[in-house]
Structure 1
Amino acid sequence: MQWSEGTWTHDPGAVIMEGDDLVVEAVEGSDAWRITSYGFIHDSEHALVAPFPPDSAVEVEFTLTLEEQFDQAGVFVRADAENWVKAGVEFADGTPNLGAVVTQGRSDWSSAPVPEWRGRRVTIRASRSEDALTVRARVGEEPFRFVRLCPLEATRALVAGPYLCAPTRSGLRVRFHRWSLTSPDASLH
C-alpha cells in the first residue's frame, strides 16, 4: 500500500518521507488504552489507517529503535473508540516486548520479551478471517511466530495500518518500511 492511502487517527508530531520509508515522530503522551488496571482512557495513538476488508491481512514492517518506557510501534486495527487491537513491540521495564492489546470496552495486554530484536526489522501481521483476528510477528526473514488470536465481528467495518505511541516522552521516531494488504493466513497453526 502507498503511505498516501491512509489517514491518521491522530496527527503525529512529524511525518517525513525518506526514499520509500515513512519516518514518523510521535507526540508526547500519545497512547491507546481503556480503563483496565490504570483507570484512564487514552485515545491519542498515531495510526495511519485504511479499510481492512474481511478475509485479508495487513502487514507493517519497521525498524525496532524503541528505547524508553512504553515506546511502541506496530499494527493498529480499529472498529471504533471502544473496540480496537494494537499489536507490535512495546518497550517496557527495560526491554522490548512483543505483544498485543485487545480492547472491547476495556483493554487487556499480553507481552513477551524480545531483547534480541533491537535494531532489526520487525514485521507484524494481522489476519482477518471469519470471526477472528490472528496476529503473528517476525524479525528479519525468520518464520512468523504466533502472538494472539482474538474474536471480532465478521461483518464489522474495520480500518488498519501502522501505528506508534510515546506515552512518556517526546522525540520518539519510528521508521516504517512497508505497509501491505495481502491474503489472510490459511490456518491458525
Structure 2
Amino acid sequence: MNLQELVRDGEWTTEPVRAEWTAGGELLVEAREESDAWRTTSYGFVHDDAHALLAPLGAREAIEVTFVLDYDQQFDQAGVMIRVDESTWIKAGVEVSDGSPQVGAVVTRGVSDWSVAPVPEWVGREITIRASRDGDAITVRARAGDEPWRLVRVAPLSPTADARAGLFCCAPTRAGLVVRFVGHRRSEPDAALH
C-alpha cells in the first residue's frame, strides 16, 4: 500500500483542516490547532483528535511513513499511529519539545506514557518511522534519509488486537502546521529485534 492507496482506502480519525496533493505526489496535511493524542498521565487531560489516516494492520505486518521534518513549534509532531481503540494506541515519530526535535513514542494502554531522544541533526531531512508488528509486540525504528535504523521502542500489543495504522500529525499549541508526507509502505515484519 503506497501513499495514494492509503489516502484512497484509509479513514481519518479526525479530519484535518486540509489534505492535498502536490504536483510532485507529496501529501500536505494541515493540522487543526489544539489537535493531539494523549490520555491523562501527568497532564490530567484526554485528547483524542490527532489527524491519523488509518487502514487495517495485519498481525504480522510492518508500516513505514516518511515525512519532511520542516516544522519547529512546540509539540508539532508527525509519524506513525497504530490504533486499536480510544484507550489503546501507539504514536511514534518526531515531536518538537523544548526547542528541539525529538524522536520518540507515546504508548497508551488506558493511560499514556512518553519517551523521547533529541535529533536536531534531522532538521530539514526526510524522516522514516517504521513500526513492525509481530507476535505480541510493536517494534518502532526511525531514521533520517538512508542512515541506519535507530531502535525507538518495543511496546506490547495483543496479537489478536484489531489494529489500524497509518500516518498522523497534530499541533497541540498552534494553528498552521502543515506536514509534508512523502511516502507510505507496508511490508513483512522485521525478522529479529536485534
What is the TM-score when the length of structure 1 is the normalising length?
Answer: 0.99
**1:137 and 2:142 correspond:** yes
Match status 1:7 vs 2:19:
no
The structural deviation recorded for 1:66 is: 1.8
Contact in 2 for aligned 1:66/1:90 (Cα 8 Å) = no
User: Does residue 152 of structure 2 align to residue 151 of structure 1?
Assistant: no
Aligned: 1:188 with 2:183: no
Deviation at 1:4, TM superposition (A): 1.3
Stretches of structure 2 that go unaligned for 5 or more consecutive residues are none
| Alpha-carbon offset, residue 65 of structure 1 | 1.2
User: 1:57 maps to which residue?
Assistant: 62
Percent sequence identity over matched residues? 57
Per-residue CA deviations over 1:125-182 (Å, capped at 9, x if unaligned) read 0000010000000000001110000111001100000000000000000000111111
- The Cα of 1:77 is off from its aligned counterpart by 0.3
- Look up the equivalent residue of 2:105 and give its one-letter code: A
Q: How many residues are aligned here?
A: 189
Shift of 1:63: 0.3
User: What CA deviation, in whole Å up to 9, does each residue of 1:68-123 have, x standing for no partner?
Assistant: 00000000000000000000000000000000000000000000000000000000
User: 1:23 — aligned with what?
Assistant: 28
Measure the CA separation in 1 of the matches of 2:184 and 2:54.
Answer: 10
Equivalent residue for 1:99?
Answer: 104
Q: Which runs of 5+ in 1 are unaligned?
A: none
Secondary structure in structure 1 of the residue aligned to 2:91: strand
Q: Which residue of the other structure, out of 66, 71, 74, is the alignment partner of 1:69?
A: 74
Question: What residue is the counterpart of 1:40 in the other structure?
Answer: 45
| Matching residue's letter, 2:39 | R
The separation in 2 between residues aligned to 1:143 and 1:20, in whole angstroms, is: 26
Q: Report the equivalent of 2:115.
A: 110
Q: How far apart, in 2, do the equivalents of 1:187 and 1:142 lie?
A: 19
In structure 2, the residue matched to 1:123 is 128
Q: Secondary structure at the match of 2:66?
A: strand
**Aligned amino acid, residue 149 of structure 1:** V
**Distance across 1 between alignment mates of 2:168 and 2:182:** 13
Of 71, 74, 86, which residue of structure 2 is paired with 1:81?
86
SS at match of 1:57: strand
Equivalent-residue separation in structure 1 for 2:50 and 2:104 (angstroms): 16
